[in-house]
Amino acid sequence: MSVGERDPFTGHQTTGHEWNGIKELNTPVPKPVYFFLITLGIFALAWTLLMPSWPYGSGYFKGLLGVDQKEVVAKSVADAARERAGWMARIEKEDLTQIQSDPDLMRTVRENGLTLFGDNCAACHGANAKGNKGFPNIVQSPMLWGNDPETVLQTVTAGINGTDPNTRVSQMLAFGRDGTLTQDQVSLLAGFVKSLSGPATVTDTNKEDVAKGKELFATTCVACHGDDAKGLVEVGAPNLTDDYWIYGGERKDIYESIFHGRQGHMPSWGARLTPADIKIITLYVLDLRKEGGTTAAAGGGS
Ligand code: HEC
Ligand code: HEC
């Protein structure tokens, strides 16, 4: 078939290509395509003239509009710094309850607290602050040293068994290892302690042992854990009747706690973070506890 043949139906010439009897028509490029090409060309030209574009020896063409992205960034950084200085000053100055009652400030606390907590606390307490074995759940469990905001701030600042001169000091003695109690006695105590949060573990066969454990508890443990075993904030001794365990609530974990003792170490943050950052983290934790919905039940024991 030859080039230039005309299609009788459309009137277009053919290109001369033919596939299995189907011939290709030589139709013109659609007008909208030209339109787009021309518009784009004009736009590109205008953009290079208006905005910073072509580099030359010692600089670049700044554009007729004089837009400078560096200035824009510098300005937004300066704005952010000014804003930060504003709320930082308030965090430094105001006391915890004042800050808590300001929803705007608390929004800032939440944003910044999340990062600060992630960087400093999550390694031990977990990203959600609900703890890991050996590191307490600080969202839901009662605070060993007391719940009110200033007390928690003090705990975080000074640490527990930390390096700060004001650190909180606590120790669960190693009753078995030190030979104060025999293995059997430790075992009886573990059975009794377990029964406090799990009454169902008391059966007809072990109820005498649990009673013996209770007697031992009354003579050996109440000084720190309290007559009702609900803990004493004065010595940071935990409530043994609830479902929150720092070191695990299985009978064998409890046995270990009593036999080998425990001495949790919480760093003294006063030496590592600014007072304002510690305030933010503390408020952030207290806020999580509010959301956790268990603040009312918490009381560090007695
Ligand atoms: C190196 C691990 C570690 C890191 C990091 C850590 N903690 Fe702790 N934290 C502990 C341990 C262990 C305890 C429990 C101490 C005990 O058993 O007496 C604790 C206890 C606490 C308590 C409970 C105090 C109470 O009265 O019961 C709070 C609140 C707390 N930490 C907050 C924080 C905050 C906020 C950070 C980050 C700034 C942080 N912790 C970082 C190990 C850590
Ligand atoms: C000198 C005070 C003191 C005495 C006495 C004491 N405790 Fe403790 N006990 C503590 C402290 C403080 C802790 C928390 C240690 C920590 O978190 O690092 C603790 C922790 C525990 C734990 C672990 C709790 C958990 O959440 O994992 C158990 C179980 C326990 N004690 C049982 C006993 C029993 C049983 C006795 C009596 C034989 C006893 N304690 C006597 C201070 C004491």
297 band by pLDDT with thresholds 50, 70 and 90? very low
pTM here is 0.79
- Is the beta carbon of 120 within 6 A of some atom in ligand 1? yes
CA of 135 to the centre of ligand 1 (A): 7
Q: Which has the minimum average pLDDT: 12-21, 44-53, 147-156?
A: 12-21
- Where are the domains positioned within the chain? 14-60, 73-166+266-297, 183-260
Give domain 73-166+266-297's CATH superfamily: Cytochrome c-like domain (1.10.760.10)
**What SS3 state is found at 280?**
helix
Question: By percentage, how much of the chain surpasses pLDDT 90?
Answer: 79
Q: Which ligand is nearest to the CA of 147?
A: 1
CA of 257 to the centre of ligand 2 (A): 7
Q: What mean pLDDT do residues 12-27 have?
A: 87
- Phi first, then psi, for residue 111 (nearest 5°) are -60, -50
Neighbours of 53 (CB within 10 A): 12
The closest alpha carbon to 193, from 168, 162, 225, 167, belongs to: 225
Of ligand 1's atoms, which has the minimum distance to the CA of residue 146?
26
57, two tokens: 């020896």
Nearest CA to ligand 2 atom 42: 172
Reported as a single tens digit per residue, the pLDDT across 190-204 is: 999 999 999 999 999
Give the pLDDT confidence score for residue 300 in this predicted structure.
Answer: 39
> 103-120 and 275-292 helices cross at what angle (nearest 10)?
100
CA atoms of 278 and 116, how far apart (whole Å): 9
122, two tokens: 């999550």
47, two tokens: 């953009």
Mean confidence (pLDDT) of the chain: 92
CA atoms of 210 and 221, how far apart (whole Å): 15
CA atoms of 110 and 178, how far apart (whole Å): 45
Instruction: Specify the CATH architecture of the domain 183-260.
Output: Orthogonal Bundle (1.10)
Q: Confirm if 117 and 109 have CB atoms less than 8 A apart.
A: no
Q: Which residues are known binding-site members for heme c?
A: 121, 124-125, 172, 221, 224-225, 266
Q: Confirm if 246 and 134 have CB atoms less than 8 A apart.
A: yes
- Is the beta carbon of 108 within 6 A of some atom in ligand 2? no
Give the pLDDT confidence score for residue 294 in this predicted structure.
Answer: 47
Question: Which span out of 4-8, 32-36, 298-302 was modeled with the highest average pLDDT?
Answer: 32-36
CA of 238 to the centre of ligand 2 (A): 7
Reported as a single tens digit per residue, the pLDDT across 207-228 is: 999 999 999 999 999 999 999 9
Reported as a single tens digit per residue, the pLDDT across 237-273 is: 999 999 999 999 999 999 999 999 999 999 999 999 9
Residues whose CB falls within 8 Å of the CB of residue 172, separated by 6 or more in sequence, listed in order? 224, 237, 257, 258, 261, 262, 263
Give the pLDDT confidence score for residue 2 in this predicted structure.
Answer: 58
The closest alpha carbon to 256, from 133, 126, 130, belongs to: 133
Q: How far are the Cα atoms of 90, 233, 239, 299 from residue 219, in angstroms, in the given order?
A: 51, 20, 17, 24
**What SS3 state is found at 138?**
coil
> Residue 239, by phi and psi: left (phi above 0), alpha (psi -120 to 50) or beta?
beta
- Is the beta carbon of 143 within 6 A of some atom in ligand 1? yes
Res 302 pLDDT > 50: no
CA of 258 to the centre of ligand 2 (A): 7
Give the pLDDT confidence score for residue 239 in this predicted structure.
Answer: 97
Q: What mean pLDDT do residues 121-150 have?
A: 95
- Phi first, then psi, for residue 15 (nearest 5°) are -85, -15
* DSSP 8-state symbol, 14: E
CA atoms of 109 and 116, how far apart (whole Å): 10
Res 188 pLDDT > 80: yes
CA atoms of 179 and 201, how far apart (whole Å): 27
- What's the sign of the alpha-carbon dihedral 276, 277, 280, 282? negative
Domain 73-166+266-297 and domain 183-260, same fold? Reply is yes
Nearest CA to ligand 1 atom 39: 121
- What's the sign of the alpha-carbon dihedral 95, 97, 98, 103? positive
28, two tokens: 């013109």
CA atoms of 202 and 192, how far apart (whole Å): 9
Q: Which has the minimum average pLDDT: 1-15, 130-144, 156-170?
A: 1-15
Question: By percentage, how much of the chain surpasses pLDDT 70?
Answer: 95
